[in-house]
Every structure is written in C-alpha cells, then in structure tokens.
Structure 1
Amino acid sequence: MKSLLTICIACSIAIIACNKNKDTADKTENTSANMVLQWNNAGMEAMRRTGSLPPMLESRITATLNVTIHDVLNNIIPKYETYALNNAVVSGANADAAVAQAAHDVLLYLLPPQKTFADSLLDVSLNSIAAGTDKDQGIALGKSAATVMITMRTNDGSTTAQYPYTQGTLPGQYRSTPPFDAGPNAGFVLLPGWGKVKLFGLASAAQFRVGAPYLTSSAAYAADYNEIKKMGCTSCPDRSADQTQIGMFWLENVPASLNRIAAAFIKQNNLSAWKAARLLALLHMAEADANISCFDAKFFYNFWRPVTAVRAGDTDSNTVTIGDPAWNLLAAPTPPVPDYPSNHATDGGAGMTIIKNFFGKDDISFSTTSASLPGITRSFTSLTQATREISLSRIYVGYHFRMAVDSGEAMGRKIGQYIFDHSLREK
C-alpha cells in the first residue's frame, strides 16, 4: 500500500502539471489575433501595390506568408502541427514580435519591391512591443521560421512555370483567345507549368484530378454551349441583373475574396492568434494546392474556351451549336488558359470547405464586399450558397462552360477536405 507521503507527492505533481497546462491553454486562447491579421493584411496590400497578380501567384504568396505565421506561433506553444519549422520551441518568446519578424522576412522574399512598405510596418509592429528578452527571442524565432520556409519554397517550380505552349487545332482543343490570338503576344498561354509547382499539402497535383470533359459532338456539350452563348455574352438579354452582378462581384481572385471573409469571421468570433493563424494557413494552403491541381488538369485536358467555341461553333461537329463569329463575353478578355476545370470554382470549393470544417457548420450567415465591384454588398445564409455563386459567376461572365465549374467545385471540395484532415492538426 502506498504511503500517504507518496500519494501527496503524486497529487502535487499532478496539480502542478494541470496548472502548467492551464497556463499554456490560457496563453494560446487569450493572445490577440491583431498582429496575425495585421500581417495577413500586409500581404494583401503588398500584392495590391505590386499590381494585378493572377490567382496562382497570389495563392502561393498568401500560403507561404500565413503558414510561416502559423509555424512561428506553434514554435512558442505547440498547439497545432507545424509545416516547416519543427522542434525549435522557444516558450518565452513574444508572440507578436515573432509573427511580425517572420512575416516581414517572408514578404521580402516573396515581393522584394515592397521592401520599404514591409520595413516600415515591421518598425511600427516592433516599436509597439516593450524591450526585453522575450522580444529578442521572438525576433530571433521569427527570423528562423522565415529562413526555413524560404529554403523550402525556393526552387519550387514557380519561376519555371512560364514557357511556350503548343496550341490545338481540332474542335475542343485549346487555342489562344483574344487578344492573344494575334499581334505581338500571339500564342501566349499563362503559366502552363503551374501544375508542376511544389504542393503545400496534397500528395500529388493529380490526386483529385477530375475526369475528362465531354466531346464537342455530345448533347451535354451542346447544352452547355447554348447556355453560355445566351448567358455569358456582353449584353445577353437572358441574363438577369442579379446574375450580371454575381458575375462581376466574384470577378476578383478567389484567394483575396475568401481571405476577406475569413478575416471578418476571425474578428466576429474573437479568435485567438493561434486559431486565427491556423484558419488562414489552412485556407491558403488549400487555395495554393487548388490552383496547382487545377492547372495540372487544365493542361492535361487542354479544352477550349467558350469564346473560341462559340466563334467556331459551325466547325465543332455538333449540329445544334450555331456559331457566332462576333460573339464576345461580358468580362473580356478570357484568362489565357484552358477551360476545364474552372480554376475559380476549384478555389471556391477548396477554400469554403476549409472554413466550413474549421467552424464545424455550413449555415453561417454573412455579408461581404468585393474589390471587383466596389460599393456592392452581397449576403448569404450558408457557405454552400456563396460557394455556388462563385462557381456560377464564371458562366455569367462568359469564362467557363457549366461542366468546367461543376467539376472544378467538386474537385476543390475534395482538396479542401484533404488539407483540413491532414494538415496543421491539433496536437
């Protein structure tokens, strides 16, 4: 039988351990997400200052930045799995100093021309923190986290993804769209090698690759052809005012749209720094991998865009698709990449699946704005409703056939679910 002294010692150790765990939990739950949001926003602002970037480049930047922020926090208190920096726990480091330094250094790597902007924000961030050993440790840890991430993403294939691409000639095969079908930029196709860029969470870019698109001679193709011909043109009488608004509202890059929504949810739910960083890191990992996976599929199938298809409708081997050489789309020009699947819909499906899993429900009511249609607010009663609008918007602006958006959204949902299930999990 254990002595009373042994029992008392065991109880004391248990109480100390319990208090220590409680202190750790309190620190992760009570640390404000303000610095996380500030540097997340800095990434979006730095891209805006750089100029218009395609979603592929945008998603790589936002993923690299936000995963680094997540990593540095979880090397102070390891609440969730890390991505690049492991086992460098500095429990006494100041979280805000670590986040600011890590984000700053990664931002300089990603967007060197924004050095003045990033340096200025770092000064403001660090000057708001009292001097001390914890601040110094935070700065050092931030530098370490950034260095490891930069090493991991250097030579990831993003700088070699642009090269000449051979155009198709047969019905259904991609060929350059206006204005890239003539003149000095004739034959230009955007980033045909993006499907080979190093992934953030998936095992393979083809892991969830969708099945082949329909033949241009099929009835299913004819239905989609005739739908976009009357719904995606410049002044389509069959497209309602609301559908036109949907098309233009969601025209901006999906990573930016969903970042705005996620940041609002973080504020509304008063999430801690650790939780906020995890949500943003997962969201942008999913967005980055959705873009890579979608480009893998696009250039595997090489399917033509609606603007090409409608103008060449009399030569597609389908008797119920009447061509219109003068047809033009609502939001010209079409992005110069193949149609199938829709990158926009894939991004929407992936990102919204992350948000749904993170909060554990779909029926979240929210309103949001858009950089591509300033002054307009759209409201939703669920994440699924918003996801569907993102997908359908590409029909209304004339960018994609319905099969491309349906398949892209489905693929995106699988990507988002996989990232959530396998990345940055709670310890």
Structure 2
Amino acid sequence: MKARIIIVAALFALIGCDQNKEPITITPEDYHASVDKVTEVMIHDIFSPPVASRIFAYPNVGAFEILAKNNPDYNSLAGQLTGFEPIPEPDTTKTINFDLAALITHIDLSKRLIFSEDRIASFRDSLYAKWEKTNKVEFEDSKNYGLEVAEHMVKWMDKDNYKQTRTMPKFTVDTDDPSRWQPTPPAYMDGIEPHWNKIRPFVIDSSNQFVPSPPPPFSMEEDSDFYKEVKEVYEISNEITDKGDESEEIAIAKFWDCNPYVSVTRGHLMFATKKITPGAHWIGIAKIASRNTNADLAKTIHTYTKTSLAIADGFISCWDEKYRSNLIRPETLINEYIDDSWEPVLQTPPFPEYTSGHSVVSGAAAEALTSIYGDNFAFDDDTEVPYGLPVRSFTSFRQAAEEAAISRMYGGIHYRAAVEIGVNQGRKLGQFVVENLSMTN
C-alpha cells in the first residue's frame, strides 16, 4: 500500500513538473522559416506559378483563422472567402498555445500540398521534438487543435475543383489561326494549366470578374497597332542587348524572371534550372515588409495571408484571360516575320501571352501590401540573392509592381499591352480584395 502511494505521488509530481514548464514561444522568425521551407520545396518540385499560389494560400488562411480565434484585433475569414465555414472551436479545458497551433496548421497543410512530403516532414519532426521537450502537455494540446483545424481546411480545400482539373484534357494548339499561341523553344512545352479559370476563387466573385480590355487586333501589317507592338519588343531587345549584360534593363528582366520552367540544353542533354515563381517573389517581399517593421507574429501571418489571397485570385483571373485570348508570343512572330535568329533575353514561359501573369499578380500583391504598410514603404528586395542576383531597392510596393511588369517587355516575352493592361488588371483585383476582406478591427 505504501509503495502504491509513493508511485502515485511520483506520477503527480511528474505531471506537475511538466505543467510548470515554460510555455512554448513562437516568433515571427519561426513562421518565416516555415514559409521559406515551403518555398524551397516548391522550387525543388517545380510547381507552376498558378499551382504555387494555391500552395501558399491555404496554409496561411489556416494559420490566420487560429490567430483570429484568439486575437480580438483580427476577424475570421469564415463567410468572407468563398465556401469557407468557421473552424472548430478550441477545447477550453486544454492548454492550447494558439501561436503554436497556427504554425502546426501551416506546416501540416503545406505538407499535404507539395510532392516532396519527406522534406516538410523532416522540418516538422525536428520542431515537434523541440516543442515536446519544452512543454509536452502544451505541445500535444496545441498540436491536436492545429491538426483538427488542418482537417477542416482540407475539406474546404478539396472542393475548389483542383483535383478535377488534374484529369481535364491538355490544351489543344490551334495551328490554323496565326494569332493563336504556339509552344516555344527550347522545350516546346504544352500550355500550362489551361483549366485554371475553373478553380474556385477566394475573394473575387468569379474568374471573369476582372476581364481586361482586349489586346490590339492581330495583324502583321506594318501599319497595324499589333505589328507595332511586336516590332517594339524586337527593337527594345536589340537596344538593351547592344548595351551588354550590364544594362539596367537586362538587370531588371533577370531580377523578375521568376520562371520555374527554364530549360538548358547542353549537347543532347536538356535540364531545368530551378527558380521561384512570381508569387513566391512577392511572398518574399511580404517577409521583407514584416521583418523591416518588426511585425509581431499576428501581423506577420496577416501579411502573408492577405498577400497570398491576392496572388491566388490574381492567377485565377489572369489565366482566365490567357486561355480566352490565346495570344501568340513575341518570340514566335519575330522569328517568323522579322528575324529568324532572334532570341528573347528571358526564356518564354509555356502559356499564352495576354495578359502578363507577373504584371497581374504584382499589381494585386502590391495593393495588398500597401493596405497594410502604406504607399511610401521603401525596401531593399533581396529575394533573388539566393539565385545569384543582386539586391534591388524600391520606394514602394507599387513601384516594384510597375518594374515587375515592364521587366516582361525587357525580357522579350510580352507586348506592351500585356504588361500595362495586366498590371492595371491586378491593381483593380487587389483593390477589390482589400475592400472586401475585413481582416482587422
């Protein structure tokens, strides 16, 4: 009997010790690390720009919802995002660390959305071991709630038509119409994500809510507006390449390239060089804004979430137009009508020309970030440093978006209409996101 009492007392003592441990602290840097890990894996897995935007959006929304559940300064997105219902209520008898639960949700959802799950799992397991050692009860309670929210998110996520688009037919190239998009060298890839306009939007009403004005009518007559745009791309390219690789225009083009499909040919061997997508570049800018202002964890998650939602809807809107107008790229026309040896500064990505995807999502992301940090937010963009490119400095998010747009002309992959109308399309969409999301009180 005495031995049993001693054992019970020892057990209570152990439980008491665990409960008296320091609470687990989650910092903005912990969240940045999770987002960076997702970006790293997406580069490795070579996700297309539209798919990458989806991978960023859902985990950030899940984390934000847990944040809003415990922070009166933030509002739930339930009822604000299409088809999104409130997340489960937390068990008030449990020791839930909401910051920790939010990060766990982000990690778990990210793992479900990429291919190389082992890379996220390894990252997760190292954190789990640390947190469990710090405070096992708090970790287990927080993990259980975070995973419960993740399951709720998955049910919503699975209804966005993504899985259905995986089995839809490939894009059919119209070889009879000279205005229609044709696959471009060196890989001559099929058109990427031709059914992305069928993905359920997050904030906008539908994929065709922000249909831009059409491009100039196709004509290769030398006095036509369209031909003048083709010739302008050719002349700008020749002008900046004559200056050499050190020209400012080439530096701008390369900085905003963000093409995960760049193919390199060496003899009979072809391989891909891996880069971030346009959305990932703007997620990187969101991180810079958060760090530069010493934003707390809540504001950091808010920044990522709002930016990723604008980017995701931007891709849905842009891709809707791309496969409607189905416009041929400058490289194809210049090679056929003007100079058969001409090559663009940047490799042409594998989808129709109009409007420019980078221009649209840059315009949208800039509006989201401006709504949080203001119009005159100067920053140094080091997002491309890991890919061997120098830092570029901007006086505002909108200035960065304008440069991202014009970079596509400097790169020789878009006409003027696609970048100017595209960035305006994104700006209008971004303003709609800002005006129709009530994320803060």
- The TM-score with structure 1 as length reference comes to 0.82
Q: How does 1:13-412 map to 2 (within 5 A)?
A: 32-50=27-45, 52-78=46-72, 79-83=74-78, 84=84, 86=86, 88-90=88-90, 93-125=96-128, 127-128=130-131, 130-131=134-135, 133-159=137-163, 160-161=165-166, 163-168=169-174, 169-179=176-186, 181=188, 188-217=190-219, 219-232=224-237, 236-237=241-242, 241-252=247-258, 253-313=277-337, 323-332=338-347, 334-359=348-373, 361-369=374-382, 370=384, 373-412=387-426
Q: Cα deviations across residues 77-126 of structure 1 (Å, max 9, x unaligned)?
A: 35222344626343662023202321222122112422353344344256
Gaps of 5+ in 1: 1-29, 314-322
CA distance in 1, matches of 2:353, 2:226: 13
Q: How far is 1:241 from its partner?
A: 0.3
**CA distance in structure 1 between the aligned counterparts of 2:349 and 2:212, rounded to whole angstroms:** 20
Deviations 1:377-403 (A, max 9, x none): 111122222111100111111110010
Give, in whole Å, the separation in 1 of the partners of 2:377 and 2:126.
38
Superposition deviation, residue 371 in structure 1: 5.2
Query: Runs of 4+ in structure 1 displaced over 4 angstroms?
Result: none
Give me the whole-angstrom Cα distance separating, in 2, the residues matched to 1:381 and 1:297.
Answer: 30
Distance 1:299 1:372, change over 3 A: farther
Helix, strand or coil: the match of 1:379?
Answer: strand
Q: Deviations over 1:23-44 (max 9, x none)?
A: xxxxxxx974233222222211
Question: Following TM superposition, by how much is the alpha carbon of 1:297 offset from its aligned partner in structure 2, in angstroms?
Answer: 0.4
Contact 1:56 1:292 in 2 (8 A): yes
Superposed CA deviations along residues 274-331 of structure 1, whole A, max 9, x for unmatched, are: 2111110110111111111111001111111101121233xxxxxxxxx222222112
Kept in 2, the 8 Å contact 1:40–1:65? The answer is no
Give the 3 Å change call, closer, same or farther, for CA 178–31 of structure 1 in structure 2.
Answer: closer
Would the alpha carbon gap of residues 409 and 422 (structure 1) be closer, same or farther in structure 2, given more than 3 Å must change?
same
Q: Secondary structure at the match of 1:358?
A: helix
Distance 1:377 1:46 in 2: 23
Unpaired stretches in structure 2, ≥5 consecutive residues: 1-24, 79-83, 259-276
Deviations 1:218-247 (A, max 9, x none): 633233212101223697327870000000
Helix, strand or coil at the partner of 1:200: coil
> Conserved in 1, the CA contact under 8 Å of 2:69 and 2:76?
no
Larger CA deviation: 119-128 vs 214-223: 119-128
Q: 1:233 to 1:96 in 2, by over 3 A?
A: farther
